Structure 1
Amino acid sequence: MKVHVWHTGSVYIDQALAFQENSLHPLPYSGWLRGKSKKRWVPVSSYFIEHPKGRILVDTGWHEEIRTNQKKHLGRLAYSMFQGKLNKGESVLEKLTNYGIKSHDIDYVLLTHLHSDHVSGLKHVKDAKKILTSELEWKAANKKIGYIKSMWDGVPIETFEFSEIPYGPYKRGLDLFGDGTLFLVHTPGHSDGMFSILVKMSEGWLLLASDVGYSKKSWEDMILPGVTTNKVYAKESLKWIKEFSNREDCIQVIANHDTEIEPRIIV
């Protein structure tokens, strides 16, 4: 088992989007009318898992259109709140090409949730054998604001329903291969149908926490993300991440946007 931690671009956000804050500002996470001292660049991560039963890509980072016309790609509203950056060689297409892998060689693309920085690059890998997100997330993304539906237009996304598993704040998720080696763990709150990825490594568990928290500081200090669809669920999910991080068999917990996490291969 190998897990490749990739930075597939970065995003310029208000600090209140990463760490919820009490403010007189009605929408501090938007960054509107807030100075540069409140803004920061954070990585946008994707993960490539070499599993004995298949090749798995978790989230897709930014599409290469971010380099040329991101205002069109994101839309005016999203662009007014955050901007992306994608250096040469950082797109999922370029990362996969560097390893000699075509999109049709990927067995699963797992979309932890459908926010733009997680699905922007989806069309680069639309020929993957199977592209999965949860049924809950799919319904929310096609009904609620906060999503950019053009990013998955024409992409054959399949959905799954959460069922009982041994892990997670609500013990709901999916045992992807049915052998206890890779779980999609329902960790709602930041979005309705978001899941984290729990990977069984030789030394113990690796937990890819998506956006349950934006960094290790999030679960250590119990700071929710600035955007939540349900604060009760978000707190329970973050609490579970904290508890799991303290297990003796937990190798590491990685948040998607943690500035302390460097690209590397975990074996």
Structure 2
Amino acid sequence: MNTIKIHVLHCGSIDLDEAASFYEKTIHPMPYSGIFRSKKHQINVPVSAYLIEHPKGLILIDTGWNTEVRTNPKKYLGWLYNISSTAHLPPQQAIHEQLHKLGYQASDIDYLFLSHLHPDHVSGLKLLTNAKRILTSSLELSDTKKHPLLYLPFMWKDVNVETFDFQNSEFDLFGDGSVVFVNTPGHTNGMSSTIVQNDGKFVLLCADTGYAEKSWLHMILPGMMTNKKKAVQSLKWVKEMSENPNCIEVLANHDANVKPHIIEF
């Protein structure tokens, strides 16, 4: 297969309590919310998206923040989200702006995949409605009704979002193993991690299965989970994948130590 190129993009950032990223066992009932927690516990982490230049099409994973957060984030995201976090989107970091710098526009995107539907992953969707196909897992979309406080459905309202079903926990985009979406539940039930493979080597984009490399190195779960047991199993899988000698990189969406860069293999 020809070369695959992955652009690691930061489409803004978010201030949140460190317990949202890294699970803490504490007497506080919801430490990840940041409520009644000192500002010393706040951290700033990137909100990432990934543009994959693949011989069979242009693929985008996640969308980062919408430009609405620049003007009126409280109105756009709502009071609940603003209590627990603060969104930032500097100039030229919105996903459509970054695509433009790379010489693309939304209509060039063959497949826009949403790893899961939390606001920081889907907010920029309406900047990209001209993408040829927009997909997320059927399990994730159905779960938005079971956990309504975790989602803002207006972000995908009136957008033609298709769904796919996992077969044995996987969805192979091209049927050749080069781009495979793997169900890694726990943070959300329908969340997808992405394996991008070429010539035996691979990159794993693990979404929010863990929030940083230290998550799988030290088995630190995300602070927000729909199923802790499944979250442990998913993070163990990421750790095993990271130890595979054919693994080039494992990237968590919100790892503050990961800078924008290009992976070519």
Give the match for residue 173 of structure 1. 170
What is the identity, as a one-letter code, of the residue corresponding to 1:13?
A: L
1:58 is aligned to 2:61:
yes
What pairs with 1:198-209 in structure 2 (closer than 5 Å)?
A: 198-202=195-199, 204-209=201-206
Structure 2 residue matching 1:109: 3-state secondary structure: strand
What is the identity, as a one-letter code, of the residue corresponding to 1:212?
A: T
Give the match for residue 140 of structure 2. 137
Give the match for residue 117 of structure 1. 120
What TM-score, normalized to structure 2? 0.96
Structure 2 residue matching 1:163: 3-state secondary structure: coil
CA contact (8 A) 1:142 1:149 kept: no
| Cα distance between partner residues in 2 of 1:217 and 1:67 | 31
Give the match for residue 193 of structure 1. 190
Give the match for residue 251 of structure 1. 248
| Cα distance between partner residues in 2 of 1:213 and 1:144 | 20
What TM-score, normalized to structure 1? 0.96
Structure 1 residue matching 2:72: 3-state secondary structure: helix
| Structure 1 unaligned residues grouped into runs of 5+ | 165-171
Quote how far apart the aligned CAs of 1:153 are: 1.1
User: What per-residue deviation string (whole Å, max 9, x for no partner) do you get for residues 50-95 of structure 1?
Assistant: 0000001100000000100111111111111111000111000100
Give the match for residue 47 of structure 2. 44
Give the match for residue 167 of structure 1. none
User: What per-residue deviation string (whole Å, max 9, x for no partner) do you get for residues 161-195 of structure 1?
Assistant: 1003xxxxxxx110101111110011000001001
Percent identity between the aligned chains? 50
User: What per-residue deviation string (whole Å, max 9, x for no partner) do you get for residues 95-124 of structure 1?
Assistant: 011122121110000000000000000000
1:160 is aligned to 2:164:
yes
1:95 is aligned to 2:98:
yes
1:184 is aligned to 2:181:
yes
Quote how far apart the aligned CAs of 1:142 are: 3.2
| Cα distance between partner residues in 1 of 2:187 and 2:47 | 16
| Cα distance between partner residues in 1 of 2:200 and 2:259 | 20
| Cα distance between partner residues in 2 of 1:205 and 1:97 | 27
CA contact (8 A) 1:14 1:28 kept: yes
Structure 1 residue matching 2:180: 3-state secondary structure: strand
1:212 is aligned to 2:216:
no
Structure 2 residue matching 1:197: 3-state secondary structure: strand
1:128 is aligned to 2:131:
yes
| Structure 2 unaligned residues grouped into runs of 5+ | none
Question: Of 85, 88, 113, which residue of structure 2 is paired with 1:85?
Answer: 88
Question: Of 1, 6, 18, which residue of structure 1 is paired with 2:9?
Answer: 6
Give the match for residue 261 of structure 2. 264
| Cα distance between partner residues in 2 of 1:22 and 1:128 | 42
User: What per-residue deviation string (whole Å, max 9, x for no partner) do you get for residues 179-225 of structure 1?
Assistant: 11110011000001001000013571100000000000000110100
- The number of residues matched between the two structures is 260
CA contact (8 A) 1:173 1:186 kept: yes
CA RMSD of aligned residues (A): 0.9
What pairs with 1:8-23 in structure 2 (closer than 5 Å)?
A: 8-23=11-26
What is the identity, as a one-letter code, of the residue corresponding to 2:41?
A: K
| Cα distance between partner residues in 1 of 2:145 and 2:105 | 29
User: What per-residue deviation string (whole Å, max 9, x for no partner) do you get for residues 134-161 of structure 1?
Assistant: 0000001134221001111111100011
